[in-house]
């Protein structure tokens, strides 16, 4: 054999083996990513007493396990096509509504021993905990299927392990921090173009040790049943939605839409529990990442909990367009093999519920605006219904490797040149957001903004523009009716009543996955030349009983020509100082100071005339204000 023949043979062998090697590596990586979950599930006593990271839902781990090779499945202890707890959980109780069969054990030797602390008050031989679970499950069935109109889960009556119309729930010892899971059965049911799966649900045999639920463990049961039963329903609409390719041949699974819509469903069912609040810290500080972001390891990392915090996206869809849009989206998911929620399903659902008036780019950029106005930025009566409780809000700064970097980029000096804007740590992935905040105090009458997506025209940039007065949270937010794109230059005018203009760049091309997309921008020099310190104030009369904040407080706005310390002091007519506040202001910047008619102890002052002194470095301004109780 010649040298050339040897080289050619080696090259051909590499072509044949490389895909297999890569596939094997992916299989091994997938196995390693879910192994800690199965270790924890199969041996809960190993980590007994430890405060383990929360695993909101075990369903994604079973979806990942079912596409692994038999060897990896066996190593995990994963058994497909069986109900592994059926023999040990030998006691059964059928729910009053006839929709569920609850499996449990009262054996003192079993780690799955049902919680008996609730007793058996009706003396029917069934622990009350099993009856409580059954009543909750019946209520969830009525809500999901009866009220919202979803299809019931596939009937497992034709499988060797199901009992037909009743859906099986097993009460097992899940260990601390794992709420529950819905395990799909094998094989799949092929119904025309739809692929469906029967399933069963596992719940914990107690929840009183769960963080935040020590005094309300039944509420943990409620949200878990609502969440997991929606997974069972999802398996009727589209069992292939988690697949990352149309034929489900790719090892990696991504059930991001399954999980975030199940979070929406639990909130829709039990609005007072608010379990999803606990996952918002894993979403709001990371909104530059794709909505598709998902991982099964390491437990407790932001990537593993991101999709649960991102449940605010279907919450937005429901509050903005009505509850029906979530069901419509799932119906359209089932029309395409593999994941297609962002690719086509949500666009079709938006078209149906709005009569074609709203498309995905509009809805997505609108959602970006809703995300901004949470916690202390909340505008009452606008955006999310529970926005004030969404903590933390999108941060101004973010820590990386022990150092703080700007997350929301803030500007108050102009012009801004393109070469000043390229250095940034948080450029958005596809379906991620950035926020640019431009202070208007030093602008004249127009903000002229130019945008340049440096990656080229392939990326589908959309820029939403809003303006508002941060000092008056009850006033409306101005929204630019036009969505701007790459290479656009546009102007924002007539912003005298607004303190901030926010530009929100995002990418809405469903074909983009997890790219980090850079851009540059510019703002022309239309700034006001500040030659002296300026102090504005109002109103001159404070009515403490007035519901409008602007009428029951004094607002002083100070704009400075150089770095300065600004003091505000309030005195009685007898020259007794009752209130003071001090702030630092950067050169050419502006600071608001507010007095709510209270003294330094937080007590409302009496009606009368008060003297207000504003000092900017060594400059003073004094004026009077009338307070009426």
pLDDT of 357 reads 96
Which of the residue ranges 181-190, 342-351, 468-477, 478-487 has the most confident prediction, judged by mean pLDDT?
342-351
**H or E element, residue 110:** none
Q: Are 91 and 105 in contact (CB under 8 A)?
A: yes
- Kindly indicate whether the domain formed by 534-628 is annotated with CATH number 2.60.40.2550: yes
For 84-141, what is each residue's pLDDT tens digit? 898 899 999 999 999 999 999 999 999 999 999 999 999 999 999 999 999 999 999 9
Name the helix (H) or strand (E) containing 182: strand 180-184
List of E strands, 325-439: 397-400, 403-406, 409-411, 436-439
Residue 322, SS3 per DSSP:
coil
User: Is the C-alpha dihedral spanning 415, 416, 418, 420 positive or negative?
Assistant: positive
Domain locations along the chain: 1-239, 243-357, 395-523, 534-628
**Which residues are CB-neighbours of 196 under 8 A, at least 6 positions away?**
154, 188, 189, 190, 235, 236, 239
10 vs 41, more confident: 41
Poorest-pLDDT segment among 6-10, 357-361, 544-548: 6-10
CATH of domain 395-523: 2.60.120.510
Kindly list the strands in the beta sheet with 541-543, ordered across the sheet, starting from the edge strand earlier in the chain.
541-543, 619-628, 608-616, 564-571, 577-585
DSSP string for 47-95: GTTS-PPPBS-SHHHHHHHTTS-HHHHHHHT--TTS-TTTTT--EEEE-
Tokens of 619: 């400059």
Q: Provide the 3-class DSSP secondary structure of residue 515.
A: coil
Strand order from edge to edge, sheet including 590-595: 534-538, 554-559, 590-595
pLDDT tens string 555-612: 888 888 788 899 999 999 888 999 999 998 888 778 888 898 999 999 999 999 999 9
Rounded-to-integer distance, Cα 290 and Cα 292, Å = 5
**pLDDT value for 224:** 98
| Residue of 67, 430, 429, 431 lying closest to 254 (CA atoms) | 67
Nearest to 257 by CA among 59, 462, 68: 59
- Our measurement of the distance from residue 65's CA atom to the centroid of its chain's CA atoms, rounded to an integer in Å, reads 26
* Residue 373 scores a pLDDT above 90: yes
pLDDT for 195-214, tens place per residue?
A: 899 999 999 999 988 888 99
For 490-494, the CB contacts below 8 A with 24+ separation are 490/448, 490/449, 490/465, 491/446, 491/447, 491/448, 491/449, 492/446, 492/447, 492/449, 492/465, 492/467, 493/445, 493/446, 494/445
List phi, psi (to 5°) of 99. -95, -20
């Amino acid at each position: 054999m010649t040298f050339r023949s040897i080289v050619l043979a080696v090259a051909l062998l590499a072509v044949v083996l490389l895909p297999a090697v890569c596939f094997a590596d992916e299989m091994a990586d997938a196995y390693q990513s879910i192994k800690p979950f199965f270790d924890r599930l199969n041996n809960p006593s190993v980590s007994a007493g430890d405060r383990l990271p929360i695993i909101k839902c075990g369903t994604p781990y079973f979806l990942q396990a079912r596409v692994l090779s038999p060897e990896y499945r066996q190593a995990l202890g994963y058994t497909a096509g069986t109900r592994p707890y059926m023999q040990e959980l030998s006691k059964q109780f059928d729910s009053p509504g006839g929709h569920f069969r609850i499996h449990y054990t009262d054996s003192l030797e079993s780690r799955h021993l049902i919680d008996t602390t609730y007793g058996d008050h009706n003396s029917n031989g069934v622990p009350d905990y099993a009856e409580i679970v059954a009543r909750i499950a019946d209520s969830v069935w009525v809500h999901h299927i009866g009220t919202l109109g979803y299809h019931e889960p596939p009937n497992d009556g034709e499988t060797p392990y199901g009992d037909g119309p009743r859906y099986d729930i097993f009460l097992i010892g899940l260990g601390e921090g794992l709420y529950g899971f819905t395990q799909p059965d094998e094989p799949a049911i092929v119904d025309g173009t739809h692929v469906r799966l029967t399933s069963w649900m596992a719940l914990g045999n107690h929840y009183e040790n769960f963080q935040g639920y020590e005094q309300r463990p039944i509420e943990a049961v409620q949200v878990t049943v609502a969440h997991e039963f929606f997974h069972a329903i999802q398996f009727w609409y589209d069992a292939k939605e988690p697949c990352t390719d149309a034929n489900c041949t790719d090892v990696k699974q991504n059930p991001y839409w399954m999980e975030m819509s199940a979070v929406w469903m639990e909130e829709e069912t039990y609005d007072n529990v608010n379990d999803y609040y606990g996952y918002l810290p894993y979403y709001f500080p990371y909104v530059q990442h794709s909505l598709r972001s998902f991982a099964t390891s390491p437990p407790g990392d932001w990537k593993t909990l991101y999709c649960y915090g991102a449940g605010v996206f279907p919450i937005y869809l429901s509050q903005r367009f009505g509850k029906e849009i979530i069901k419509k989206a799932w119906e359209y998911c089932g029309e395409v093999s593999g994941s297609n929620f962002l690719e086509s399903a949500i666009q079709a659902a938006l078209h149906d519920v709005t009569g074609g008036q709203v498309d995905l780019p509009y809805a997505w950029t609108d959602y970006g605006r809703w995300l901004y106005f949470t916690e202390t930025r909340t505008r009452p009566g606008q955006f999310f219904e529970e926005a004030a409780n969404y903590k933390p809000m999108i941060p101004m700064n973010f820590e990386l490797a022990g150092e703080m970097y700007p997350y929301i980029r803030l500007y108050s000096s102009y012009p801004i040149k393109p070469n000043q804007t390229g250095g940034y740590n948080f450029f958005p992935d596809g379906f991620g957001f950035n926020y640019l905040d431009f202070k208007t105090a030093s602008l004249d009458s127009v903000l002229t903004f130019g945008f340049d997506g440096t990656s080229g025209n392939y990326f589908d940039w959309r820029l939403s523009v809003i303006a508002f007065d941060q000092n008056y949270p009850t006033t409306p937010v101005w929204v630019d009716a036009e969505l701007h794109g790459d290479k656009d230059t546009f102007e924002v005018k007539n912003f005298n009543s607004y303190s901030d203009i926010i530009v929100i760049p995002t990418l809405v091309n469903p074909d983009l996955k997890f790219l980090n997309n850079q851009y540059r921008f510019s703002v022309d020099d239309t700034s006001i030349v500040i030659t002296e310190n300026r102090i504005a104030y109002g109103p001159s009369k404070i009515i403490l009983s007035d519901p409008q904040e602007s009428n029951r407080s004094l607002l002083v706005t100070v704009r400075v020509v150089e770095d300065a310390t600004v003091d505000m002091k309030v005195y009685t007519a007898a020259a007794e100082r009752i209130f003071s506040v001090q702030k630092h202001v950067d050169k050419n910047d502006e600071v608001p100071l507010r007095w709510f008619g209270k003294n330094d102890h937080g007590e409302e002052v009496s009606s009368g005339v008060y003297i207000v002194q504003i000092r900017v470095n060594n400059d003073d301004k004094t004026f009077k204000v009338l307070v009426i109780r």
